[in-house]
Structure 1
Amino acid sequence: MREFGYERAFGVSEAVALLGSAPDARFLGGGTNLVDLMKAGVERPALLVDVRELPLDGVGFTGGGGLRIGATVTNSDLAAHPEVRRHHPALAQAVLAGASGQLRNMATVGGNLLQRTRCGYFTDISKPCNKRSPGSGCPAVDGEHHNHAILGASARCIATHPSDMAVALAAFDAVISYETADGPGELPMSEFYPPVGDTPHIETALPPGALITGVTLPPSPVAAHSRYRKVRERASYAFAIGSIAAALDVRDGVVREVRLALGAVASRPWRARAAEQALIGGPANAEAFAAAADAELAAAEPLPDNGYKVTLMRSLVVAVLTELTEEVSR
């Protein structure tokens, strides 16, 4: 591991200034991803700026009835917060599905959004990887790719985004707030993770030196009737091979509003807008849910060893939407 400096910041402006004071500096939250990557030699920061003491650890209502979540709120506190559980149950479920209890106690909301792929070629510095070393190649395309992307990938990178929390945030149109030396800014979740394209090493649209300060969830009555479902290769702590965040409003057997986001299928949380459009105003039944899933997955480009994800995601969409529909009719 490369030797590095360490500074603890107590104010947002101080943290941003410290990051700008040294080349190759990184913000440190819980460190549950960054420190592992430092040990592996993937990340080699010259300076860590500890932001855990910043006054960004609250959860509360916005003026319009949405929720504002501070960037240093731990995953455990987020999942346990009564307003999150009441108004966005899928978000609480996604966080609880995301890691072990010990990791959730350390991991922060801001850090969760910035965690990097768990692709084995990315984390092994002896292997080429366009995400880690642009232009070196993507060996996963012809190598081990059973848990890689089927949507929105490119020949340059087929890695998937690992966050469960981000999938739920994508379904609820979250907005990411940040601070730079030039002042504050915001990014909608739909723009926060750019398409992988020819630049897989550019993982977010944050400007250089930006510190995530919080996440805002706009008012969304349908979010109170939501669910997150994760499929993994073992029941205990593991990354998803497929997941879904869904919210549904059904009246008189007709879909009035629906939110769908898919996880572990792309380089970013995948908002299933084609499926949403297919469902609005139509019947709330298994046949319609399956047709909507097919509309979304028509764009899938699976490789030889991950084609199972198409069937898996179709089944997940039908199962979760059916369960939400049955809950409404009780």
Structure 2
Amino acid sequence: MADRKIGSQTIKFNKPPSIIGTGTVVGPKEGIGPLKDYFDLIINDDLYSEKSWEKAERKMLKEASEMAIKNSKIPFANIEYFISGDLLNQIISSAFTARELGSPFLGIYGACSTIAEGMGLGAILIDGGYADNLLVATSSHFCTAERQFRFPLELGNQRPPTAQWTVTGAGAAVVSSDIKNPRITYFTFGKIIDMGEVDSNSMGTAMAPAAVDTMIRHFQDTGRTPDYYDLIVTGDLSSIGKDVAEDLMKQKGYDISNNYTDCGIMIYNNKQDVHSGGSGCACAATVTCGYLFKQMLEKKYNRVLLVATGALLSTTSSQQGETIPCIAYALSLENL
């Protein structure tokens, strides 16, 4: 009997796993943003002394992972699994990092929702008694994402106002059976939501309905209301997608305007030229593993609902005229 499942899409953890250590690495642009003091390492250049942007991204992911383990104060040998994914073809940043770390590896792909998907799956393993300590991580890089999904940077293409800026960075967290705060109390799976959007320069608009669907399902499954949480934060809808999500929630009878924001808005300031805001796997990951984790340790937030969003398109699907399938996963993070 599935005694931990409540409602149609939510897992309630009997022994809520803890986040006992995190690590974050960000690029130069993120390092001058409003959350700069919450990141563990700010690199000086996008190449990070490597020969390619892809190698730089891999290096950031490895270092964030090692920082998370160090900050958790447990031996590296105690990490039983490594759960990771990224935006690059065949999740090469994660796979090559797993090669270096040497831990049993579970490679996942949730696009920009990867940190929430990974933490949720990790919490299931911990709560189910299949592990005591595991590492969850993800990364992205503005230059690698632009090269793969849009245009070579050398072309200098103009970006429309709806475009977002892929966060250069990596975030990692050690999830454990140790009883410490903050803890993962609920995990709500998402469903693929596709409203027919085809513009890869308007990801926030495409992903907002998926975020709304998962939030509503979370509230229905748990019986909670938006005001239960000190903060509700989506992963990377940024300014345009956030407004769409807020309006759609209000149409469904949920007012989240008093305690809702988005990681893509938080990570940059208004003076930085990022158009509608931040995106990428590292957007939710660095804000969660940096700012949110440290704020919860200080008990400035005690109940946070993280709703990380992902657009599951590829260059092939876009070139063939496919619409953009989107997903969102919700994690309830609480100090108990």
TM-score by length of structure 2 reads: 0.28
Could you say which structure has the higher helix fraction?
2
Q: Return the index of the structure with the highest Cα Rg.
A: 1
Bigger relative CO (Cα 8 Å, ≥ 6 apart):
2
